[in-house]
Structure 1
């Protein structure tokens, strides 16, 4: 009888523990839900300061006005709006100018990947701003939009770029600014101001990510390496 009583007590304890302990499942977080990576947030939401919120790059307003119960927290920079516009010769539409970029997310900041030739005579124009030199292939180098370049504070630092299409990664060195304010002149090879969410890289990075540079652009995330 003592043995049976012990068995019943143990069975009751196990049943109680099963009922009361939380079930650990990998759930997708909605507005202001907890997160650690971009994959933890549903839809177009991204992980900012440990919570899922609207992506300022995509322009979603799920949390701030389109179905979320509370607005996103102050992310230290707010939305990045144009500071002006600039029209290149022969063009009818002006290009927006930016002194800022979307907020940097340590776990992975969404960006648009573009291609640049950092060698002498390439489409990048003059030498790189960080070191006043050219960077021919096969160097893996990158220029960041003005806001992310942050007054040269990221010069010489290594960033990790991840393709959202292939999942492959490449580590490249920040050597230049993709100027989001100035452009349409000889110094910038006639190109308009850079958009505020650009990671402009050498061909070697495209190749390592398994992407076709002929596409012109690709969706990526980047973080400090």
Structure 2
């Protein structure tokens, strides 16, 4: 399967020290305070207390964070109440689009780590609480209403949330020129006129992330194409290395990090060296192979051997993986 470089839509609307969807603690395995700030008494009429917003106290020490807990398909958080309207306790226009938003629109702000340097701007998330769910364009009053929470209880609620991953578009296949499209390891070549779905995201990562394992050669001349994106090098088929779908590759944030892959009653640790591009394909840069699905771990032969999969079954296998 072809790998290649690419990039990573809730309206994540506001970036504030304590945002409207938060937990006591950039996404990572361990999140510790980054520092502290000392409170100052607000000047007269300079702290909007709508929705029971807290005002800083002079001399009080407040911890700060540059990170948030890791995101999964069931991310625990505390839902708070915010107004994104002009004059509301949310302050100025929203960070993502420089606009104000009605209290009747389901929108939220996320803590700094989950906001992730604007990467979740204008993306949808699903919020679960009170036995209900609501889709929000990254919480206004509309979110609390949709969750069926009595108004007298608005303000703080234990919830969980997850990213939504939807197709980002389609590309039309082109017939490869003669001699193009390396079909080693049963790699698929684009079909003229066929529509292929593209993704800028992948399913949420957890400690047991479901995926499809595929087979790839990262050697020079192999079906992986050019050198790996992470280190601009080729890698032996005997080395346990993988490429991840675009969303999981996450703008190279997992480059040269290890992941643990589990299947067939075994586990193997492999290094992430490349991206399996879910956003583009069917062109010269991608060896005229289709875009990668959004749930792929594209692995070298060494990974398949370590999992004990019979050689005649190599090519496609349901697995789980996690950051090592």
Counterpart of 2:235 (choices 109, 115, 135) is 135
| SS of residue matched to 2:285 | helix
Q: How does 1:155-170 map to 2 (within 5 A)?
A: 155-163=255-263, 166-170=264-268
1:47 Cα deviation (Å)?
6.7
Q: Which residue of 1 aligns with 2:202?
A: 101
**For structure 1, which runs of at least 5 residues remain unmatched after alignment?**
1-45, 51-63
Q: Say whether 1:82 aligns with 2:181.
A: no
Distance 1:218 1:132 in 2: 28
Q: Say whether 1:223 aligns with 2:322.
A: yes
Compare the two structures and name the one with the higher helix fraction. Answer: 1
Distance 1:161 1:111 in 2: 10
Equivalent residues, number = 161
C-alpha contact 2:171 2:195 (8 A) present in aligned 1: yes
| SS of residue matched to 2:243 | strand
Q: How does 1:71-220 map to 2 (within 5 A)?
A: 71=133, 75-77=161-163, 79-90=164-175, 91=191, 92-105=193-206, 107-163=207-263, 166-212=264-310, 214-215=312-313, 216-220=315-319
* Runs of 4+ in structure 1 over 4 Å off: none
Q: Which residue of 2 aligns with 1:34?
A: none
1:190 Cα deviation (Å)?
1.4
Q: Which residue of 1 aligns with 2:113?
A: none
1:139 Cα deviation (Å)?
0.7
Deviation string 1:120-163 (CA, Å, 9 cap, x unpaired) is 00001110000000001211100000000000000010000001
C-alpha contact 1:102 1:197 (8 A) present in aligned 2: yes
Deviation string 1:75-133 (CA, Å, 9 cap, x unpaired) is 342x211111112214242110100000111x210000000000000001110000000
What TM-score do you get using the length of structure 2 for normalisation? 0.46
Distance 1:214 1:95 in 2: 28
Distance 1:74 1:195 in 2: 26
What TM-score do you get using the length of structure 1 for normalisation? 0.66
C-alpha contact 1:126 1:188 (8 A) present in aligned 2: no
Distance 2:310 2:229 in 1: 27
C-alpha contact 1:86 1:94 (8 A) present in aligned 2: yes
